[in-house]
């Protein structure tokens, strides 16, 4: 009966070695019929169930929910967040975090607005925005890897800095007269589909990220350094270089999200994208990526995006106060960290009970699950 | 646990004079750097625009900085224990609205009860955070990110589209933030005393020292028999309670309160804490440093305003300063490590 919980603990996000670190003795291996259930216990499977439940509840709440038109709207509001979630997943898997994505989005949006107002050709603007996105990521990456600063502090700093640059660039202005060719791409579907362009881009990127993360040495090295950066260094992995490149990719993706955001709303204003960083982090954690690094998958991110978008949309259709959807997002986030830990806790209680029957009760409780925060 | 910067002493040099030692000690204090920055900043601003040092302006800066510093105090207690509390902005928001409503509807209510209500609201949410982190054994970054959303969601549900406006309060509520003693705002005095008390507790009480121990090395702290769960719970409960009280002050200071009060304030508070020399991964830093960090960020905001710099520059400068602060701190601690190693090597001979 133990192995089912082991399976959950082993595969799911938050638990692993960090919490179970001081587990004495060999943990009971998979035995009996429960071993076969292991794959079914994966985090992603749980997410599939969540997505299905949301779909059922959504369609029960409103006949609108499962319509193509609604899917389009649902995708429209999630595309940029979803695009930023991909590099964020990689960064968190390698043990860092990037809170500056919303400001990089804002900065590229402001740059797009300012340069367009100055009558630059659109393609030149795209090039400049891309370069600035790369630079923004590189500053994060170099401060984290070369100076050796905690990414949490660095990216809180650049969160303010990049937003500040957006404020300086744009001031109180609003730029809105973007060419229809581009703004249409922000509000219409890809021909012959019901998918907004931003979701189309997300799907293509998700496939690329999945291949890179799950099949290439580069991708595997991200897991290795997330699990143990020191061991990864000694194993000859270019930890600093890989981490820097991930921050650069994040900057570039956020710049892309900024362009899409601007075209979707047809406005460049200074507070574009404010507050999105935490949404992105929430999606990635919901996806089963461990905040301690070393665990997670792109499939999980994809499902978490679906769950997040579906939930927000279902709430919207039920006339739930839209601003209060954080209540549900937050609840989901809490559940996502507690499910694996509840499994740990039950396992711990069982082991304690078993020990109590086997050994004299004087055994000190040294095997309490460790907390690592 | 003020980390000190020990300059490598030449071996064999005679003991330095006591005055030199005093100067050395002053320079060793980590907060010295940020106080110096603050003084230089105020001096330059005042030289360009003397109005900056006018009584009213100083009073304004002090009152704004006290709310900020109060939140930084709570956040520091949490950060020292290698945790983080992202929910302070949301707790402040919901406490500000509920107490503002209390102050505008129950006119006969004595002021201390309003503060008690704010304290209770904050304490409740802080205790929830603390329970989730210490009993649930999940990382505080995730827990408080979730409660940030949840509490703000609750706030929105309660407030809806409404807001409390200043004219509805009973007058004494609005004067909390305006009363002065000898030109110094009452609020600044009270908060300074609270911060001093907090600094003393963290520096000299067993439970305070244990927070540093937990932050420096959680495993060692557990093996040393420190009740980690209880300490971390207390840290979060305190941080929440302080944010609740800050909410009352916020309502009194700004008057108009809607469901967005204090939104995304948490990152600014963390910025102040980090600028104040508190290590984001726990174990070092002081409450006083964090409070000065808050004062510095508030002063910069105000100075830019007085100097006629567009407020659009505020954020960029605050962000840049935060980065400079953590880079400098990194180099200082690197030098400290090197000099400590050198010293212990000498002693080993």
ipTM of the complex: 0.75
* pLDDT at residue A9, as a whole number: 36
Considering only residues A105 and B35, tell me which one the structure prediction assigns the higher pLDDT.
A105
Report the distance separating Cα A344 and Cα B82, nearest Å. 22
CATH number of domain containing B232: 1.10.3470
Structure tokens at A267: 């406005």
Q: How confident is the model at residue B264 (pLDDT cuts 50, 70, 90)?
A: confident
Instruction: Find where tokens 């957006």 sit.
Output: A166
Closest Cα in chain B, distance from residue A122 (Å): 26
In a domain, B36, yes or no: yes
Report the distance separating Cα A258 and Cα A109, nearest Å. 5
In a domain, B14, yes or no: no
pTM equals 0.80
Instruction: Reply yes or no on whether the pLDDT at B232 is more than 90.
Output: yes
Tens-place pLDDT, residues B62-74? 888 999 999 999 9
B72 at A interface, C-beta within 8 A = no
In a domain, B12, yes or no: no
Closest Cα in chain A, distance from residue B59 (Å): 26
Tens-place pLDDT, residues A249-268? 999 999 999 999 999 999 99
In a domain, B274, yes or no: yes
Closest CA to A370 of A338, A335, A341: A341
Number of domain units in chain B? 1
Closest Cα in chain A, distance from residue B148 (Å): 8
Contacts of B135 in chain A (CB under 8 A): none
Contacts of A285 in chain B (CB under 8 A): 142, 145
A99 at B interface, C-beta within 8 A = yes
Closest Cα in chain A, distance from residue B262 (Å): 13
DSSP state of A67: S
Mean pLDDT of B331-340: 78
Going by C-beta distance under 8 Å and a sequence separation of 6 or more, which residues neighbour residue B147? A330, A334, B86, B87, B90, B125, B128, B129, B132
Report the distance separating Cα A255 and Cα A103, nearest Å. 9
Mean pLDDT of B153-162: 85
CB distance B146–A291 less than 8 Å? no
Considering only residues A286 and A27, tell me which one the structure prediction assigns the higher pLDDT.
A286
A367 at B interface, C-beta within 8 A = no
Domain range annotation of chain A: 2-40+338-358, 42-320
Structure tokens at B21: 């030692």
Size of interface A-B (CB pairs under 8 A): 171
Considering only residues B30 and A359, tell me which one the structure prediction assigns the higher pLDDT.
B30
Chain B (125-144) residues lying within 8 Å, Cβ to Cβ, of chain A: 132-134, 136-143
The most confident of A16-25, B49-58, B240-249, B295-304, by mean pLDDT:
B240-249
CB distance A321–B160 less than 8 Å? yes
* pLDDT at residue B25, as a whole number: 58
Chain A (287-306) residues lying within 8 Å, Cβ to Cβ, of chain B: 291-292
Mean pLDDT of B167-177: 78
Query: How many residues does the structure list for chain B?
Result: 349
pLDDT-above-90 percentage for chain A: 44
In a domain, B38, yes or no: yes
Mean pLDDT of B142-171: 85
Mean pLDDT of B105-118: 85
* pLDDT at residue A13, as a whole number: 37
CB distance B153–A330 less than 8 Å? yes
Contacts of A291 in chain B (CB under 8 A): 139, 141-142
In a domain, B181, yes or no: yes
Contacts of A338 in chain B (CB under 8 A): 136, 138
Q: How confident is the model at residue A6 (pLDDT cuts 50, 70, 90)?
A: very low
In a domain, B13, yes or no: no
A363 at B interface, C-beta within 8 A = no
* pLDDT at residue A5, as a whole number: 35
**What is the CATH topology of the domain spanning A42-320?**
ABC transporter involved in vitamin B12 uptake, BtuC (1.10.3470)
Do A270 and A162 form a contact (C-beta atoms < 8 A)? no
Q: Which domain holds residue B74?
A: 30-332
Instruction: Reply yes or no on whether the pLDDT at B178 is more than 90.
Output: no
Mean pLDDT of B329-333: 77
């Amino acid at each position: 009966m133990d192995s089912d919980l082991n399976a959950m603990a082993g595969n799911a996000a938050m638990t692993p070695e960090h919490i179970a670190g001081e587990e004495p003795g060999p943990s009971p291996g998979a035995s009996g019929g429960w071993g076969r259930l292991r794959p079914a216990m994966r985090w992603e499977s749980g997410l599939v169930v969540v997505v299905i439940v949301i779909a059922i509840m959504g369609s029960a709440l409103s006949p609108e929910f499962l319509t193509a038109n609604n899917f389009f709207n649902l995708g429209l509001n999630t595309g940029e967040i979803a695009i930023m979630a991909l590099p964020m997943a990689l960064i968190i898997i390698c043990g860092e975090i990037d809170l500056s994505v919303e400001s990089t989005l804002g900065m590229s949006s402001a740059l797009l607005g300012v340069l367009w107002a100055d009558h630059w050709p659109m393609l030149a603007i795209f090039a400049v925005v891309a370069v600035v996105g790369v630079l923004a990521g590189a500053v994060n990456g170099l401060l984290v890897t070369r100076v050796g600063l905690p990414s949490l502090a660095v990216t809180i700093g650049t969160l303010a800095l990049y937003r500040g640059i957006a404020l300086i660039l744009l001031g109180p202005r609003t730029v809105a007269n973007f060419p229809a060719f581009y703004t249409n791409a922000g509000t219409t579907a890809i021909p012959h589909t019901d998918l907004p362009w931003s979701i189309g881009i997300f799907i293509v990127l998700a496939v690329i990220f999945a291949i890179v993360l799950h099949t290439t040495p580069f991708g595997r090295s991200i897991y290795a350094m997330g699990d143990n950066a020191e061991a990864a260094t000694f194993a000859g992995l270019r930890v600093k270089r890989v981490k820097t490149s991930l921050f650069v990719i994040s900057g570039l993706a956020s710049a892309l999200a900024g362009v899409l955001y601007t075209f979707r709303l047809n406005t460049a204003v200074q507070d574009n994208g404010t507050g999105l960083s935490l949404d992105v982090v929430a999606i990635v954690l919901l996806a089963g990526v461990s905040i301690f690094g070393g665990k997670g998958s792109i499939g999980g991110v994809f499902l978490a995006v679906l769950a997040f978008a579906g939930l927000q949309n279902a709430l919207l259709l039920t006339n739930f106060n839209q601003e209060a959807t954080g209540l549900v997002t937050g609840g989901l986030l809490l559940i996502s960290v507690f499910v694996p830990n509840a499994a740990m806790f039950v396992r711990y209680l069982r082991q304690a009970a078993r020990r109590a029957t086997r050994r004299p009760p004087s055994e000190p409780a040294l095997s309490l699950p460790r907390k690592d925060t | 646990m003020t980390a000190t910067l020990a300059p490598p002493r030449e071996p064999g040099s005679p003991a330095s004079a006591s005055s030199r030692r005093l100067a050395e000690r002053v320079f060793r204090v980590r907060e010295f750097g940020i106080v110096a920055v603050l003084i230089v900043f105020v001096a330059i601003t005042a030289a360009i625009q003397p109005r900056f040092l006018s009584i009213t302006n100083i009073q304004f800066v002090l009152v704004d900085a006290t709310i900020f510093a109060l939140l930084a105090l709570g956040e520091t207690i949490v950060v020292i224990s290698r945790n983080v509390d992202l929910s302070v902005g949301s707790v402040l928001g919901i406490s500000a609205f509920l107490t503002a409503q209390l102050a505008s509807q129950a006119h006969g209510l004595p002021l201390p009860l309003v503060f008690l209500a704010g304290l209770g609201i904050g304490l409740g949410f802080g205790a929830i955070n603390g329970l989730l982190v210490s009993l649930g054994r999940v990382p505080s970054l995730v827990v408080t990110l979730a409660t940030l959303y949840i509490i703000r969601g609750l706030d929105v549900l309660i407030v809806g589209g409404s807001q409390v406006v200043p004219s509805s309060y009973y007058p004494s509520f609005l004067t909390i933030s305006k009363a002065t003693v000898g030109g110094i705002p009452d609020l600044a005095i009270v908060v300074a005393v609270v911060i001093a008390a907090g600094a003393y507790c963290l520096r000299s009480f067993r439970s305070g020292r244990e927070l540093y121990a937990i932050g420096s090395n959680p495993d060692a702290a557990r093996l040393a028999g420190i009740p980690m769960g209880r300490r971390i719970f207390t840290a979060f409960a305190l941080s929440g309670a302080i944010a609740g009280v800050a909410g009352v002050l916020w309502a009194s200071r700004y008057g108009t309160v809607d469901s967005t009060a204090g939104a995304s304030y948490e990152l600014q508070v963390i910025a102040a804490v980090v600028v104040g020399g508190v290590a984001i991964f726990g174990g070092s830093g002081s409450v006083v440093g964090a409070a000065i960090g808050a004062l510095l960020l508030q002063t910069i905001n105000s100075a830019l305003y007085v100097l006629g710099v567009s407020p659009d520059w505020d954020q960029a400068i605050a962000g840049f300063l935060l980065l400079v602060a953590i880079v400098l701190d990194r180099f200082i601690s690197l030098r400290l490590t090197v000099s400590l190693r050198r010293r212990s090597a000498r002693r080993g001979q």
